[in-house]
Chains A and B, each alone.
Chain A
């Protein structure tokens, strides 16, 4: 292992349960250059400014230092592209997901999500101990994104394997198997793309009310996704729908169990939950950092010049705890009014699925805390998933009754 730099410590699995003191250190440092030439930014206002700066690219192919994680195989999805290409692809994907073309899609899923949540709770009803991750927080968003895209849930074991490999591939932990993980990720992405592309092709002749059908059919007056773009876009949506909301829900339950007064209050006032979910997105965001930004020009941030082409890593979770932005930032306060968090990013890449994630988390957390009777954490901190980017418990054992 290389020198003990700040980023080594942040990504070190030993610190996964509580990276927040390291983030405080990062904010103290301002902009932190790492020995490999990458730059970390962890203060709210600097991150906010960079997320809106048109000179910051999301396309890692723009990096000047050799990019060991550059993937072969599928081209980047819109999350890894810049405008105007990013806009074209995102707008085409949005046609069947949200306004202006499909304003009711997410709202219309309210009852279905509630039913899925109740079914999941029904499946472990009466059991004294549950694993919130495996029994609840993981299957919910997976079921929802499968319905939404039109992917058979029976195939879940197949794409879970691909998904794990892809998430491991975006893990920016320095110094570890620099070629193997990205290669495996590229292969998994390709396999998942072919799988989803095939599903989409079948929709040409057998369309249904799902997004894959919309991608291959419908009005083409504003352009259409190519078969390759359908692959990259649906891989992105399946992964994002899969690997983020699970953390929001499990981080949410973990946080509420650590704050029993707030838990009791939310049980008594379910209408507070939308507010509480925003605070969770600030306090324990499922996406801790954006590891793949690159400046297209030399850019000065807080007195430091970040050179063109340098890897730029934005620590969203650190910005969310910036005392210059939020009073008493380490306090979890579901009634906080000023919660303009960075949990969904900001600017042109702000989270595509945010309305869905909000709805899923609000319903899931409300139903689960109503169900749980005197819940207790079996293990605190719980074991965490490996990824420092998509951070959340791997298991969350809770006893109740």
Chain B
């Protein structure tokens, strides 16, 4: 087709899942120009979900999590060097080693990093970990192999809970400290948060909610921690699972609308500049992107989901090499999964975008159920516990803005069909950041993610 920009120079900053899938899609769809991938980590792209599961259990070693490539990607890979700046006028990316990489079109896919423990001296104690990279996972797995007397997990979001689960499966003593009222409550609300709390305790986790860790103690080596309720524990490993920080600092001087909440882009993955004008040569995808979604009242969403990274990268890549009307919107219904404490948890939609929740199928008692979330009388999300095959139906309800609560008659509706408040807490009260951040505003509700000061 005339005018399709299939040539020139494309640079992708970020060589993880989104960057790789974008590169593959560019070639798949016929991009014939030069392609450069820049990655801060020295590794070829690898998969992160196993890092808090199989790797910690010791069933897969950290260096065996490489992502399979869908096709040959003819590209120059600059790995082990970070991007430090973007010159949008001169159209080049500045690298830490001084190199300047020119581009015609740029994809920002720099993702997130683990939020560090706020006290640098305590963070430096031997035995204090975060978990984001294969190095992190390899070191933590090694330390768990050595049989610590007790592991402290700070923050009971998905990552923290999966780490605690892996530790219990290995027979290690675990304390989980969460500032909010329950594990997973920031992503799933009160009903499933309470279920998660019950299951963690049933699996022998020393779960402490409504407390913060006031100090990690030790002298060179971690020995224990103090809590805000005045109690304390002995521990020789602490994993800080306080959520993620978006890697946008390198864009601070670029004029791109980038900040702690991510890089704001339109539904076609084109980044906005600081004046709210959409660019046509800078795109964003993956955890770092923040985009409007029509199913959620065009609020800006930031998703830390594996599937979103793939889908958004594919849309971004397509739009980078197609003009005008042939561009596509990124409309995928958000979805993620987690496995922990013998549970397979799967979510579609945005559970935090809700005011009510109902157990539509199954039962809390059996820990096998589908919880459906509604906002102002329409279905906005569904979460299955050990019942993933049932989710597809609810995805269709979300996509069609079906009325909430969903129509009665489910063959396995066991418990009361009465909706209850979804009890999604203000993200400020959580230890960990939410994995879905609704970063726009609703007039009557606080759904703004406020990044806590470090």
Q: Write the residues of chain A forming the contact surface with B, with a CB cutoff of 8 angstroms.
A: 49, 52-57, 59, 82-84, 87, 295-297, 299, 308, 347-348, 350
Residues of the B chain whose Cβ atoms lie less than 8 Å from the Cβ of A56: 411
CB distance from B399 to the nearest CB of A (A): 11
A54 lies within 8 A of B396 (CB): no
Most B Cβ at <10 Å: residue of A83, A87, A297, A348? A83
Tell me whether B389 and A84 are in contact (CB under 8 A).
no
C-alpha spacing A156/B271, complex, angstroms: 68
Q: A348: nearest residue on chain B (CB-CB)?
A: B389
* Best-buried of B370, B409, B413 by chain A (most CB within 10 Å): B409
**12 A–B contacts from the bound complex (CB under 8 Å):** A54-B360, A54-B370, A54-B410, A54-B412, A82-B411, A83-B362, A84-B362, A84-B366, A84-B368, A296-B409, A299-B409, A347-B392
Given contacts A52-B396, A54-B360, 20 further A-B contacts (CB under 8 A): A52-B390, A52-B393, A53-B393, A54-B370, A54-B390, A54-B393, A54-B410, A54-B411, A55-B407, A84-B362, A84-B366, A84-B414, A87-B368, A87-B387, A296-B410, A297-B407, A299-B409, A347-B390, A347-B392, A348-B390
* Cα–Cα distance between A189 and B363 once the two chains are bound (Å): 33
Report the separation of the CA atoms of residues A59 and B411 in the bound assembly, to the nearest whole angstrom: 10
Q: In whole Å, how far is A230's beta carbon from the nearest beta carbon of chain B?
A: 23
CB pair B392–A295 under 8 Å, yes or no, is: no
* B contact residues around A59 at 8 Å (CB): 411
Residues of chain B contacted by A299 (CB below 8 angstroms):
409
The answer to whether A55 touches B412 (Cβ under 8 A) is: no
B68 at the interface (CB under 8 A from A): no
Do A55 and B411 have beta carbons less than 8 Å apart?
Answer: yes
- The docked-state distance in angstroms from the alpha carbon of A57 to that of B412 is 9
In the complex, residue of chain B having the shortest beta-carbon distance to the beta carbon of A62: B411
Dominant SS among interface residues on chain B? mixed
Given the complex of chains A and B, what is the CA–CA distance between A87 and B410 in angstroms?
Answer: 14
Q: How far is the CB of A128 from chain B (nearest CB, A)?
A: 47
Residue of A nearest to B361 (CB): A54
B392 cross-chain contacts in A, Cβ below 8 A: 52, 347
A54 vs B361: C-alpha distance when bound (angstroms): 8
Q: List the A side residues contacting B362 at CB < 8 Å.
A: 83-84
Q: Which of B390, B393, B396, B408 has the most CB of A within 10 A?
A: B393
Q: Quick one: closest A residue to B386, CB to CB?
A: A87
Q: Is the CB of B408 within 8 A of A83?
A: no
- The CA of A57 and the CA of B411, in the complex, are separated in Å by 6
A223: shortest Cβ distance to chain B, in Å? 12
Which residues does chain A contribute within 8 Å of B408, judged by CB atoms?
55, 297
Nearest B-chain residue to A54, judged by Cβ:
B410
Choose from A53, A82, A296, A347 the contact partner of B389 (Cβ within 8 Å): A347
* A52 to B370 alpha-carbon distance, docked (Å): 13
Hey, which bits of chain B sit against chain A, CB under 8 A? 360-363, 366, 368, 370, 387, 389-390, 392-393, 396, 407-414
Q: How many A-B residue pairs have CB under 8 A?
A: 55
Contact residue among B363, B370, B409 (Cβ-Cβ distance under 8 Å from A55):
B409
Question: With A49-B396, A54-B360, A348-B390 in contact, do A83 and B412 touch (Cβ < 8 Å)?
Answer: yes
Q: How far apart sit A297 and B410, CA to CA, in the bound complex (Å)?
A: 8
Give the complex CA separation of A53 and B390 in angstroms. 8
Q: Which single member of B370, B396, B409 contacts A295 (CB below 8 Å)?
A: B409
Q: Which of A49, A82, A308 contacts B412 (CB 8 A)?
A: A82
Residues of A within 8 A of B370 (CB): 54
| Nearest chain A CB to B315 CB, angstrom units | 19
- Complexed CA–CA distance, A82 and B387 (Å): 13
A84: chain B residues within 8 A (beta carbon): 362-363, 366, 368, 412, 414
Please give me the residue from chain A that is nearest to B362 by CB atom: A84
What is the chain A residue whose CB lies nearest that of B414? A84
Which residues of chain A come closer than 8 Å to B393, judged between CB atoms?
Answer: 49, 52-54
Q: Which of A56, A84, A295, A297 has the most CB of B within 10 A?
A: A84
A308 and B361 alpha carbons, distance in the complex (Å): 18
Q: Which residues of B contact A350 (CB under 8 A)?
A: 389
Nearest-neighbor residue (CB-CB) of B396 within chain A = A49
Write the nearest CB–CB distance from A327 to chain B, whole angstroms.
20
B366 / chain A contacts, CB cutoff of 8 Å: 84
Complex Cα distance A53/B407, Å?
11
| Distance in angstroms between the alpha carbons of A347 and B409 in the assembled complex | 17
- Which residues on A sit within 8 Å (CB–CB) of B410? 54-55, 296
CB distance from B358 to the nearest CB of A (A): 13
Which residues of A sit under 8 angstroms from B361, Cβ to Cβ? 54, 83
Task: Report B-chain residues with C-beta under 8 Å of the C-beta of A296.
Answer: 409-411
Residues in B with CB closer than 8 Å to A295 are 409
Instruction: Enumerate chain B residues within 8 angstroms of A55, measured Cβ to Cβ.
Output: 407-411
Q: How far is the CA of A347 from the CA of B396 in the complex (A)?
A: 14
CB distance from A256 to the nearest CB of B (A): 30
Q: Which residues of A contact B368 (CB under 8 A)?
A: 84, 87
How far is it, in angstroms, between the C-alpha of A126 and the C-alpha of B370 when the chains are bound? 58
Alpha-carbon gap, A350 to B389, bound state (A): 10
B390: chain A residues at CB < 8 Å are: 52, 54, 347-348
In Å, the complex CA distance between A57 and B390 comes to 13
A315 to chain B, nearest CB (A): 20
Q: Which residues of B contact A52 (CB under 8 A)?
A: 390, 392-393, 396
Most buried by B among A59, A87, A347: A87
> Taking CB as reference atom, which chain B residue is nearest A49?
B396
Contacts of B360 in A (CB 8 A): 54
Pairs A-B, 3 closest by C-beta atoms: A297-B409, A82-B411, A54-B410
Chain A residues, Cβ within 8 Å of B387: 83, 87
Q: Give the residues in chain B near A57, CB-CB below 8 Å.
A: 411
Chain B residue nearest to A85 in the complex (CB)? B412
Q: Would you give the shortest CB distance from A16 to chain B, in whole angstroms? A: 33
Write out the residue numbers on chain A whose beta carbons fall within 8 Å of the beta carbon of B412: 54, 82-84
B213 → chain A, closest Cβ, in Å? 35
Distance, CA A296 to CA B361, complexed state (A) = 14
CB distance from A314 to the nearest CB of B (A): 15
Listed residue (B361, B362, B407) with the most chain A CB atoms within 10 angstroms of its CB: B407
Q: How far is it, in angstroms, between the C-alpha of A83 and the C-alpha of B393 when the chains are bound?
A: 15
- CB-based nearest A residue for B366: A84
Q: Complex formed: what's the CA distance from A347 to B393 in Å? A: 9
How far is B95's CA from A213's CA once the two chains are assembled, in angstroms? 64
Residues in B with CB closer than 8 Å to A82 are 411-412
Shortest distance between the CB of B59 and any CB in chain A (Å): 12
A357–chain B nearest beta-carbon distance, Å: 19
A308 to B411 alpha-carbon distance, docked (Å): 12
Cα distance A228–B349 when bound, in Å?
42
A348, B393: Cα distance in complex, Å: 11
A308–B407 CA distance with the chains assembled, in angstroms: 13
Which B residues are CB-close (under 8 A) to A87? 368, 387
Q: From A350, which residue of chain B is reached at the shortest CB distance?
A: B389
Interface centre among A52, A56, A82, A297 (most CB of B within 10 A): A52
> In the complex, what distance in Å separates the CA atom of A299 from the CA atom of B407?
9
- List residues of chain A with CB within 8 A of the CB of B413: 54
CB distance from A58 to the nearest CB of B (A): 8
